[in-house]
Amino acid sequence: MSLSHLYRDGEGHMDDDDDERENFEITDWDLQNEFNPHRQRHWQTKEEATYGVWAERDSDEERPSFGGKRARDYSAPVNFISAGLKKGAAEEAVLEDSEDEEKPIKQEDFPKDFGPKKLKTGGNFKPSQKGFAGGTKSFMDFGSWERHTKGIGQKLLQKMGYVPGRGLGKNAQGIINPIEAKQRKGKGAVGAYGSERTTQSLQDFPVVDSEEEAEEVIDMTGREQKVYYSYSQISHKHNVPDDGLPPQSQLPPLPGKEAKAPGFALPELEHNLQLLIDLTEQEIIQNDRQLQYERDMVVNLSHELEKMTEVLEHEERVISNLSRVLEMVEECERRMQPSCPNPLTLDECARVFQTLQDKYYEEYRMSDRVDLAVAIVYPLMKDYFKEWDPLKDCTYGTEIISKWKSLLENDQILSHGGQDLSADAFHRLIWEVWMPFVRNIVNQWQPRNCDPMVDFLDSWVHIIPVWILDNILDQLIFPKLQKEVDNWNPLTDTVPIHSWIHPWLPLMQARLEPLYSPIRSKLSSALQKWHPSDSSAKLILQPWKDVFTPGSWEAFMVKNIVPKLGMCLGELVINPHQQHMDAFYWVIDWEGMISVSSLVGLLEKHFFPKWLQVLCSWLSNGPNYEEITKWYLGWKSMFSDQVLAHPSVKDKFNEALDIMNRAVSSNVGAYMQPGARENIAYLTHTERRKDFQYEAMQERREAENMAQRGIGVAASSVPMNFKDLIETKAEEHNIVFMPVIGKRHEGKQLYTFGRIVIYIDRGVVFVQGEKTWVPTSLQSLIDMAK
């Protein structure tokens, strides 16, 4: 397909000589006429493609053609177009020089007042209005082009109020003369050589900086009033000191004159000067830092000098003190020589050591006190105790030894090992000087004469080290006591064993436990033929009740004493008319020695059966109920409150009351002593009320004691209720106390207390009996559960 139709001239005809062609790129014309497809398209010429907007174009070609296409006349003669006059050599040289001077100019090289500006308008004039382009012409020729037309433009302007010779617009503010053109000197870009405005444009359209106010700025801060046309001039007004006028380069350009670039610009020199300034500044900063460093060094050295001066003074004082200490020690050694007329005593030596501790404490603590004490103190200490008898004078030397303890004992706590002797002068002093005298006297001591030895150790217990006291008790005292216990015979020795064993309890305590077993064994052998009528056994055993453990003591009593008491109580004859009470007294006398449960067991087995039998026999023979009442109350008064509070004993006496009540109730119709029934009923009511009151008092007392001890209850909590008290008691006696699930009696929760079923109602414990629920005390409940 041929593309020859694309090569046409400006009128649409083909031109072989013309290189005109159609460009397929999207141009501004295409964008502007996007919605006007019927507008005639202007074909781009080769010159326009090459020079763009600077290409010359014919004004006739821009106008629309109303006559259609015209054919070119190739028969017309050739018309030559003048290309101008050829310039001379001088003019071409000047032009070349001007072209050489055209160099890229930096933005900072432009005048400061050169920049975007805005027109200074007034009234209702709009900057968008445009004037005529072309040369300067008189307004008389205005509209002369209408002679070639029908004159419709002039008429329209006159209808809208236009007056010939005046400007356009409502206020005639439009320009009359066309805008003048000004030739640029070189080929640089627009604005490269300063302002390109003419005198006419500056008059018609005054300008100010686009970023500043259009109004003039009046500066009254100096010695005289100044007027600035822009704020940029204010920032440069103090560049030259003591000069009221700003520099010439900072003055705003006069109307009609161009802003000129600075005439003297040496960037290389300025760069070098700035470089020298920076180097000098860095050198100044470095010198300042070095100066500050040297000053700090001087301060540090001054402080170091002060510290070293203080250290030197301290060392001088230490040397002086050590010299004085050495003089005092040498003086003590000189006075300890046998040929010295004024020998050193232990008190004087103690004063010397006290002086060392008070005045030269640091040197005294740093010195080797062990070697110093061994060399000076030990010989004096041996001489001081050489005539001492600890059993005769137990306090001899306690005061002087206490003083030496404060002088020689090390601050750290020492263990019992012998290796600690090398670290503590006082412990070594006691072990090597004082201890030999003690060993000698203990070897000569008789264990049954315990008081002097006990007094001696009591006097020294707070002075001597603990490990030395333990050594005395374990290695010296206990073997002597153990040997003496083995030789003791309770049947032949007139001195009770507790008289020479118990004084050692405060000092030895648990160390005496190995002696208790052979003592109990020998006492048990001695009680085999004993009878309760012999009260010496109680005198021998009573001191050991609180020494033996509760379990071992109870076992000893059950094995050796209770059977003897049961045999004696079984021999008791109960006779209301002639009663012998010796056997009963022998048994009751052991109440504090044997447990309550053991004593109650003896009474239930050997006393109450006979006693109730005698009561029944007496009631069946028409007795005197007043005598029976006295007999009942008399026997009851023989028992302590603790025994009477036991449930078994209480049941036996209640059984006796029931027997008496049945007796007075069964003799209906027979002879009855007047008032007997009432007396027995009153006695029964009174005794049971006393029992109940006593139980309540005991329970209240126990609750108060437990609250004081804080058993089961915090100190800040409220007092416990009765159920909590029962629970605490059950824990103390290892009794299971728990509710019975799903079981109630009259709406009250049932509990198991051991093997007993109980319930609690208003602070009273009820125990299930054979037919009914019986109230009981807490102690009785515990005894029944056991």
pLDDT band per the 50, 70, 90 thresholds, residue 225:
confident
Give me 475's structure tokens: 């290695």
pLDDT, residue 181, reads: 73
Question: For the segment 324-340, what is each residue's pLDDT rounded down to a tens digit?
Answer: 888 887 877 787 777 77
376, 434 Cβ separation under 8 angstroms: no
For residue 717, the number of C-alpha atoms closer than 13 Å in the C-beta half-sphere is 12
pLDDT, residue 122, reads: 41
Question: For the segment 198-210, what is each residue's pLDDT rounded down to a tens digit?
Answer: 777 777 666 654 4
Query: Which residues are paired to 774 by β-bridges?
Result: 767
Vertex 756 angle, CA 768 and 699, to 5°: 85
- C-alpha span between 775 and 781 (Å, rounded): 10
User: Is 60 exceeded by the pLDDT of residue 481?
Assistant: yes
Q: Is the model more confident about 130 or about 440? A: 440
Vertex 707 angle, CA 702 and 713, to 5°: 130
Q: Which residue stretches of 336-397 are H helix? A: 346-359, 361-366, 369-384
Give me 501's structure tokens: 């064993």
**Other beta carbons within 10 Å of 424:** 21
Question: For the segment 678-718, what is each residue's pLDDT rounded down to a tens digit?
Answer: 677 777 777 777 766 666 776 777 777 777 766 444 444 44
First to last CA, the chain: 133
Mean predicted lDDT score pLDDT of the chain:
74
Q: Is the model more confident about 33 or about 575? A: 575
Any idea of the CA torsion for 67, 70, 75, 81, to the nearest 10 degrees? 90
Highest mean pLDDT pick, 155-164, 454-463, 728-737, 744-753? 454-463
- C-alpha span between 243 and 658 (Å, rounded): 140
Question: For the segment 149-177, what is each residue's pLDDT rounded down to a tens digit?
Answer: 666 777 777 777 777 767 776 666 666 66
- List b or e across 268-292, with b for residues whose CB sees 16 or more CB atoms inside 10 angstroms: eeeeeeeeeeeeeeeeeeeeeeeee
Provide the CA 369 distance to its chain's centre, in angstroms: 46
- Give all strands (DSSP E) within 229-373, no chain letters: none
Q: Which H/E stretch holds residue 458?
A: helix 450-460
Q: DSSP state, 616?
A: H
Highest mean pLDDT pick, 354-363, 372-381, 722-731? 722-731
**Least confident among 29-38, 110-119, 640-649:** 110-119
